[in-house]
Amino acid sequence: MRYITAVFALLSCLVTAGAMARDYPAHPIRWLVPYPPGGGADNVARVVTQRLSRTLGQPIVVDNRPGGNTIIGTQALLSAARDGYTVMNTAEQIAVNAALYPGLKYSAQRDLDFVALLVRTPLLLLARRDLPVSDVAGLFAYMKERGDRLTYGSWGQGGMNHLTMEALAARVGVHPTHVPFPGAAPAMRDLLGGQIDLYFSDPATALPHLRTGKLKVLLVSTRERLPYLPDVPTVHESGYPGFDMYSWQGVLAPKGIPPRVLKTLAAAIRETLQQPEVDKELRERGFIPDPGTPEQFRAFFLRSQAELGDIVRRRNIRIQ
């Protein structure tokens, strides 16, 4: 009798899960962003969720959970129900944390479901307006002259702009002083105020300040020049061939959401990113839409984790 009861209970759970998956989404979705409002991840979240809510027919509530190099947001995600109603829009920081925090109590590849890659983002090397540099040759000479007296900011230790600057500094042969901030907005504020010298920024955050002349742009991190900044050279063409780095963002869920829910959500995100108005708005903000399958995102994540972890180890980056 106990065996029969257990079988019926299991079947009931399966039927309930199946019905939930077929009805998904039946109520609003919480979209975690492990960064403060105003930065690149928040920008993408606002654009994508506005259109995605129409695709899915349910509201999507953006919930900023900054702090701890995405760890606070990730812990909130891991504590959520595995039903597809809580997901997280995160950047590559989550792939770097395994190298930065050897004692991390969770594993991204083990404890998370990979839903969809959203965008790739070129990075622009910005300088405070009064930095005595006007071209790439002058920049590299200034970096070598200043050494560790040169300061640069990042949106957090282990973030892509931190690692991109360290990768560039390794090529130049210098060790500038890193100043981490809890997000893009406070880092940009200090760059504008002249408290730091350099900052690799996402275009969405940088372009308004470039248009007003409050900052200057010196380099692009990707192999190809950008169509909206055709006169700005790349690191690759400035004496360091092969340099090609960019930030990325994707959507994750706690491990174990129903496969049909995962498939539905992933397909809806791909459909949303392929809408002409969404593609146009993201590109105008400097983001490159990169829709794909969960399997493609997982493979991309693992490659990124290995490559970025190697930079952490080679540059001996430690959490301060």
Q: Looking at residues 124-142, what average pLDDT do you find?
A: 95
- CA dist 244 and 86 (Å) reads 33
Q: Looking at residues 18-35, what average pLDDT do you find?
A: 83
Report, in this order, helix, strand and coil percent for the chain, each rounded to 5: 45, 20, 35
Q: Which residues of 250-266 are buried (b: 16+ CB within 10 A; e: fewer)?
A: bbbbbbebbeebbebbb
In this structure, the answer to whether residues 144 and 196 fall within a common structural domain is yes
Residue 268 lies in a domain: yes
Q: What's the pTM? A: 0.82
In this structure, the answer to whether residues 211 and 259 fall within a common structural domain is no
Q: Which domain holds residue 24?
A: 2-121+247-314
Closest CA to 36 of 72, 66, 76: 66
In this prediction, residue 22 has a pLDDT band, given cuts at 50, 70 and 90, of: low
In this structure, the answer to whether residues 130 and 203 fall within a common structural domain is yes
In this structure, the answer to whether residues 114 and 9 fall within a common structural domain is yes
Residue 319 lies in a domain: no
In this structure, the answer to whether residues 136 and 192 fall within a common structural domain is yes
In this structure, the answer to whether residues 12 and 112 fall within a common structural domain is yes
Residues pairing with 33 in the sheet: 64
Q: Tokens 């399958």 map to which residue? A: 293
- CA dist 98 and 106 (Å) reads 9
Residue 146 lies in a domain: yes
Residue 82 lies in a domain: yes
Residue 280 lies in a domain: yes
Tens of pLDDT, residues 53-96: 999 999 999 999 998 889 999 999 999 999 999 999 999 989 99
Q: Is the pLDDT of residue 10 over 70?
A: no
* Number of structural domains found in the chain: 2
Q: Tokens 């308004």 map to which residue? A: 208
In this structure, the answer to whether residues 256 and 110 fall within a common structural domain is yes
Q: What is the pLDDT of residue 185?
A: 84
Residue 226 lies in a domain: no
